[in-house]
Structure 1
Amino acid sequence: MQARFGRRSGLSKESTGMKDCEKDDVPYPPLLPRKVNLQEVTIIPHNEWERIRGSLDKLTREAAALRAERTAKRRMHTQSQNLVKHWTNTYAGMKEQKLKAKQKRGEELEAERQILDVEEELHKEGERKKAIESAKQYQFYQTERVKSFHSGLLLSRVMKERDAQIQYKKNTEKSDKKWEEQLKLSSEKAIKEEKEKEEKQRQARLALAKDHLKQIKEREEEEKERKKNEEKDSEEIKRQNLLYEIEVKKKLSKKQKEIDENKKQFFDSIHDKNIIRAIEQQQEEEEDERTMKFIKAKKRLMQMRQDKEAEIQRLMEERKERINNFLTELMQQKLDNEDFIIARDVAEAEAEREKAEKEKNEKTQAELKAISEHRATVMKNKEEEERQRKIESKEQLLALLEADKLFQELEKEKKLKASIKQQEIQDAHVQKMAVNKFNARQLKEEDLEYWRLTEALAAEKEEEFQKYAREVIACESESTKKYTYPLVRAVQEGVGGGHGPPFVGRGGIRPSYQATDATGIQLPFYNSQGSKFDFQKSKRRLGFTW
């Protein structure tokens, strides 16, 4: 079939040429799918197709364009910032340069301050060390050993000066007249110089007196001003003290209220505890009372049961006795009537006898029947009572066993509580004894450590004193060795300044001893080589021969 509707004449759509193309391996596939009717395909011009595509992708393209524009602006802004970041002729650059310069100056100032702080700290450290050394030296000089040693040093120097003065006096006595004239001239010259010196001193004293008067006036004015300030300060202090006293009173009243409230709560708690204890005691008493009532009720029931059984037995005995008496009376009456009846009429007697016998038999049968019925009823009631009694006895026994068990548990719990409490008290006593023993041992160890440290410190101080004394004695002995005995005497072992023997176990201290009278003065120290009295002569004079 040939193509129509404006197509050029030629082969049909399913021509052999297309078939050959389909059969061949063509690298490019056809533009339309297979088995598509071309008459149903709409052909659109390229411009119209581009317009449709543009209308469909308009929002996407506008969004992409906006994103690209923003990205370009951001990139341009970043480039501009990177470009002007290091410029110094802009406001931001000048501000940054100023901030850097300010930061640099601050760092330099901080470094200088740190250096000054380090120097000041070193200076203060040196001052502290100097102060500590001077304090240690002053403290060392204030000890009794050093004071006594300095007293000996002063005594040795005084002795040396005294000998020098004696020697000088001896030398002056041997001088000649020329020396006396020269001494007279020198004395006159000295008197003249002394007068001039006194005149100068008088002028200086006058000037000093004027200066002192001026200073006195200034001090009086300052004293007036100071008094005014002190009055103001005293008024302010009085006001502050008044406010402080008011505040203290408020605090004391508040504290007293708290104490009263705590005391009230404490007494309330004690009262509540007493009430609870009384309630518990009352409950225990009620429990004991219920137990006693139960035991009494049980005894009373047993007594009632025994009384009831005795009453039943007594009633049965009385009934038996009544029946026997009644039968005996009947028999006696029968015998009496027989004589009378026999005498009156034998026939009537016989009839009466038969009638009586018949009645007697009927009555006996009725009584025997009543007795058997009564016996059966009594036995039945007795069995029922016995069964009821057994049930009640069993219930009472179970209740009594339960009460006994409860009582045993309560007693066991009380004993357990008492044993636990006793064990706690015993443990507390043992712990307290251990703590007291440990504290005693600790106190003893602390005491020993204290004496050990005291002895070590005393030995160290003694070594320091001996070193100082050796240096001073060596320095003093360079000039002369004649006057070092007081120093050697002061260096003897034993601190404390006393006259007694040194304690070996207490750091070598030498204590002082006081009199036992009211004065309490220190006892003197006698160091004699022996008694000056002849005791043998005294004994002979008194009449003793041994």
Structure 2
Amino acid sequence: MTTVGILSQNIGPHLGYYPGDFSQPFQDDANATDARSRKRMEPVIVSALDLKRLQQKLEGVGVEERIRQMQKEDREERYRLSKARVSRWDNTIAGQRRKRLQSRSDRLAAEEAERVRMDQEYAAEEAERRKAAIDRAKQLQYYQTDMVKNFHSKVVLFEALKERDMQVALKKERAELERKRDLEYAREEEPKAVAAKQAELQVQLEVRRRALQAQQDLLDQLRQKQAREDVEAEACRREAETLTRLDEEFKQKQKEAAAKQRSQRAILRQELLNMKEELATRNAADRQLDAEESRKADEWADRKRQQNIKKKERERTWFNESQRMRQCIGEQTAKEDALIDAKIDEAVAKAMRDREEKVKRQEKEAAEKKRRQADELTTAYKSHIRRTEIQRKIQKEQDQEELKEYVRLNEQATSERKVRKQELLRKGKELQDVHLREIALHTAQRAKDREEQLANDRATLAVHEHDDERLQAYMKSLAAESWAQDNARLQHYVHEETSKPKDQRPWRLADKHWVDTGKRLGLTSNKYHPMDVAGTNEICRGDFLSVVGKATSRCGSAAGGATVVCTPQPSASPANSRPASSSTIISPRTGGHCKQGRPAILERLPAVHV
């Protein structure tokens, strides 16, 4: 019961903090509900002290309660004073924390002030750099103007000429030094050259003497060689006579064998020619085969000739070795030739038999192929006749449909042309009224633009004069530089340019001088532009095209297939409220001529101006 009484009172800040409601005990929801239900069922036991306290509360505050309240107030006052005194101490946790927070705030304030100072310094430096960059950009932009670039090009030219003069002078000095050096070197080397020349003459004499001795030795060797060659020539002559006789005998045999081969080849070629004439209408395979056979025959003849050449070389070698070996080889060669000829004859006979069989087989295949082609051609022709009949019927039906569609489209186009013609006449009238209003507005605008242009021209002239003066100052400052002092051409040019009066100076900005825009565009001072005046006349006026540069022109095809032919008309002044008009003849497609007046078919239509 004591605990409940204490918790039901306000504890106060000097004892602690209770986050709940002091009037209610701290229990769980379920436990509190059960406890309340049980308390309602149980009887309440009140002690005498509690009963007395309740009675005092009902009757008023008693002495003890007042004492307790005074003690409580005294404790609270002492607590407040103690707290105020402790709050100023630095050796407490709160004091240390307060001190740290104060030092931190002071440090942050100092850092912020330093950052502000550095930002100001950086801003000042950035402004200086920006100003320097802007000045540099303006300077570079000024250097890119035509007058400064022209002056810079002349400065570069003068510097190049100056450098060239210096190089020419240096070249002359170097040439003179080189010539002097060569003379001194020649005087120093002259004794050495004389001694070297004498030594060279001695060497040449010794070489010539040795050459004469060598020539004498060679002459003796030649004489000995000539004697040996005479003896060898006699032996060779006798051997050559023997070889010639044997060679003639061998050639005679070769001629007989060649005559036999030529006769056989002629017979074979004649047969091949006859077969070629008979098989002229056949495929290219036969001709290729004949050519292949001829090539093989030629190759065989070539191989035969090569064999004969090799045999001759071999025989000559054998003749040099011994006469006996030559005779044996000749007999063996004759046997080999006989065997080769027999093999060739057998191969030719076999080729002839194979060719005859192949020709018969090809003739049979060609006849069968021709019969098949005839059957296919007959079938294809009949099919073509049937398809042609079907296509003719389909085409006839399509032509009838197209004719009907064309008649319908022609009627529709005729009605559309009539409507479009009426619409064009109405729009032409509206366009004429709008254009007349635009002319009046444009005249006033041109007068205003002329005044603005004059003001701009005066301002431009002032700018040009300022630029010219600035260029004069820049030229003088550049001529006063140390590197330009010794350049006579540059100094003379700057003096000439800066000493001229303003009225005698050439215009430095040729591409920016004042131009009479009216004269350049072909305008007059009191009249409207002819091209605009031409647009105030009738639709498709020829005068408009003549202003562009054509004397006469056709405006193109009008609706309905007609051609609008335009003729030049005299231009009108914008002072007139209604410019002079002339009619335009719309000629048919077959032709027509441009003339004044309106045809009878158009007399009922009102005059239209644009």
TM over 0.5: no
TM-score when scaled to structure 2? 0.28
Whichever of the two has the greater Rg, that structure is: 1
Name the TM-score, length of structure 1 as normaliser. 0.30
